[in-house]
Every structure is written in C-alpha cells, then in structure tokens.
A = this chain, B = another copy of it.
Amino acid sequence: MDQELKKPGKADRTRAAILAAAQQLFAGQGYELTTVRDIAAIADIDPAMVIRYFGSKDELFARAAVFNLKLPDLSKAERSEIGETLVRHFLSLWEGENANGAMPILLRSAASNKTAANKLREIFMGQVLPALTHAGGRSGAAERAGLVSSQLLGLALCRYVLKLPPVVGLSQDMIIREVGRTIQRYATGEQ
C-alpha cells in the first residue's frame, strides 16, 4: 500500500495530516487566503512542522494539487457516446468516491497562482487535446479541445467554486444528458 515502505511511523502520520489539512483549506479558499498557520492549526501541529515536512508553502501546494485525469481511451468508445462518456468520467472524478478534490484546489487558485494555472493548462493541453485528437481526427482538434474545455471547466467552476445554486442543483443524470450532448457535438462535429 505505502509507496516509500517502512512502518507507518509517526512522521508519516503527521505528514498525512498536514497534507489533508492543506487540501481542505486550499480547496475551500484558495492559495492566497490559506496560511501555513491555519493549516498547522487544523492538523494540530506546530506551524514550523509544515515547513520542515514540505519545504515551503509553494511545495506543499504542489503536492496537494497533483492529480491525473486518467481519461478513458476514446478511440475505443462508441463514437456516438463520446460526449456522455467524457462527462460521466469527469463527474465521477470530481464527486465520486475516490475524488480527492484536486480539481477545486486548482480551479480556486488558478486565477491568482501561476503554479495552479500552469498545471491546469498542462492538464488540458496534455490530456484533453490528445484524447480528442484520437477521437475525432487531427483537423480542428485544437478548436474542439478548446470548446470542450470551456464547457467542462465552466461546469466545474459554477458547481464547485462559485456554487451557483442552479448549477449545484443539477442532477448528475441531467448533466450527463445535457452537457454530454454538447461535448459530443464539440468533440465530433456531429449533429
């Protein structure tokens, strides 16, 4: 289970506590408003430990904001179901059991933190764009990826960050159906 082996000594537990507290706060109020002292208070340790274990606030943020889209192989999916497949994938990634909340973390801080903004750019340029290239051919892949990104990130922004009531209230089924159709058209040009 563990990656660095050894018994789960005391150090590892406080390390994990710090990371959990950091993720909670970064996701809730973004990078700038989250202080090392707040993180330490929630993790119930000394602020100095945060620095000792992670080097700096910046490095801690980088650790707290790692995540992978793990996009499914769209070339194997039914072509007519690419949209719904993608939306379903993102929804389960964002609010499924294994969701680690990294998306809100990035989205909340991307507006003012360059590390977060770059990470978001990398994710969508490096994963969404190639996936769509495979799915719909090379021509216009950039445009299609841009449109897809705008809809998916907009959904995440309204639902998890701004928490616009009408968007929060949307059922997963409705999102999959309606947004899925949009993504389908953007991705394939059909309809």
Contacts and interface: CB of A to CB of B under 8 A. Distances in A.
Interface residues of A, number: 47
B150 A158 contact: yes
Interface stretch (A37-45, A72-80, A91-99, A108-116): A108-116
Nearest to A104: B111
Interface in A139-178: 142-143, 145-147, 149-155, 157-159, 161-162, 164-167, 169-170, 174, 178
Given A111-B108, A186-B178, A124 B157 contact: no
A125 interface: yes
A112 B30 contact: yes
Contacts of A145: 166
A162 B106 CA distance: 11
Contacts of A178: 147, 186
B112 A166 contact: no
B112 A29 contact: yes
A83 to B, nearest CB: 12
A169 B142 contact: yes
B143 A174 contact: yes
B143 A149 contact: no
Most B CB contacts (10 A, CB to CB) among A154, A155, A159, A170 go to A154
A32 interface: yes
Nearest to A33: B112
8 contacts: A29-B112, A32-B33, A124-B164, A125-B164, A129-B166, A143-B169, A143-B170, A145-B166
